[in-house]
Amino acid sequence: MSATTAWEGTPRSLLVGPKSTNPFARQHAFLNRIATRTSSAVPFEQVLAQLVDFVISVVECDSCFVYVLEGDELVLRASKNPHPEAVDRLKLKVGQGITGWVAQHRQPVAVACNACNDVRFQFFNELPEDRFEAFLSVPLMSRGRVVGVLNLQNRAAHDYSERESTLISTVGFLVGAEIEMARLEKEKSQLADQLKIRKVVERAKGILQRQLKISEPEAYEMLQRQSQQRRKPMRDIAEAVVLSHAVTHNECD
């Protein structure tokens, strides 16, 4: 994660404070910045990327994962290390693995070494982090309920200090509300897009029904078949039908 992915393009030095020898000063500045961010609307993916960027800037770790609770599943949505095969695809049930346990019990878990030997640990073949020694997992909270889980891992054994655990837990409480708001905004946007698609498809079906004297199911099947054959979204096919009809209609006028 690059340092340039900080809030609104602001250099990290301005976000977490100058590189002081006093770690508490940097942490205070860091928490201040997160607290002020909760009043602004930020895209969902950007919120998660910024969360990872902030965490790795104040706590030394080799891996950072953000899981978001969607329904009864925890979905891996962001990672410090690139995992295109797992991000947005890897899912856990609440209660499954250490991550699921943290979500279920709303309590942090810190394992200093041999994390894979913990009875709650869940193996994933596609994640090399499974072989890392140390594991810190904290819940992301919003209004008293879990909205996700934040995981930190270290290759070598690492006894997470009370300061580190408290700091990451505090971050979890601060950003939980923002993650929830961003997720809801994303869902709202997706629903609006689906409504637009439905409207244009309905319009295209009506045009085909009138022009070709076919039934509604037949018109839908025609749009679907064209979408598959041309390897284009049905929305594109429907918009082409509507546009063609509009052009033809104008020419006739």
For residue range 158-182, list pLDDT tens digits in order.
999 888 888 888 888 877 777 777 6
Q: Are residues 197 and 113 part of one domain?
A: no
Q: Are residues 183 and 242 part of one domain?
A: no
User: pLDDT digit string (tens) for 66-114?
Assistant: 999 988 899 999 999 989 889 999 999 999 999 999 999 999 999 999 9
Task: Name the residue range of residue 220's domain.
Answer: 189-252
| Residues 40, 83 contacting (CB under 8 angstroms) | no
Q: Which of 188, 205, 231 is the last residue of a domain?
A: 188
* % of the chain at pLDDT higher than 90: 34
Q: Are residues 115 and 224 part of one domain?
A: no
Sheet holding 63-70, edge to edge: 91-93, 73-79, 63-70, 145-154, 134-142, 109-111
Res. 251: pLDDT tops 90: no
pLDDT bin (cut points 50, 70, 90) of residue 34 is: low
User: pLDDT digit string (tens) for 197-244?
Assistant: 889 999 999 999 998 899 998 999 999 898 888 888 888 999 898 888
Identify the pLDDT of residue 99.
Answer: 95
Res. 26: pLDDT tops 90: no
pLDDT bin (cut points 50, 70, 90) of residue 39 is: low
Q: Which of 137, 164, 188 is the last residue of a domain?
A: 188
Q: Are residues 11 and 113 part of one domain?
A: yes
Beta-strand (E) ranges in the chain? 63-70, 73-79, 91-93, 109-111, 134-142, 145-154
Q: Residue 46 sits in a domain of what CATH number?
A: 3.30.450.40
> Radius of gyration of the chain from Cα atoms?
24
pLDDT bin (cut points 50, 70, 90) of residue 17 is: very low
Q: Are residues 184 and 83 part of one domain?
A: yes
| Residues 138, 169 contacting (CB under 8 angstroms) | yes
Question: In total, how many domains does the chain have?
Answer: 2
Identify the pLDDT of residue 13.
Answer: 36
The residue type of 173 is F
**Distance between CA atoms of residues 142 and 121, nearest Å:** 25
Average pLDDT over residues 142-149: 88
Identify the pLDDT of residue 136.
Answer: 95
Q: Are residues 25 and 49 part of one domain?
A: yes
Q: Residue 199 sits in a domain of what CATH number?
A: 1.10.10.10
Q: Which of 153, 188, 223 is the last residue of a domain?
A: 188
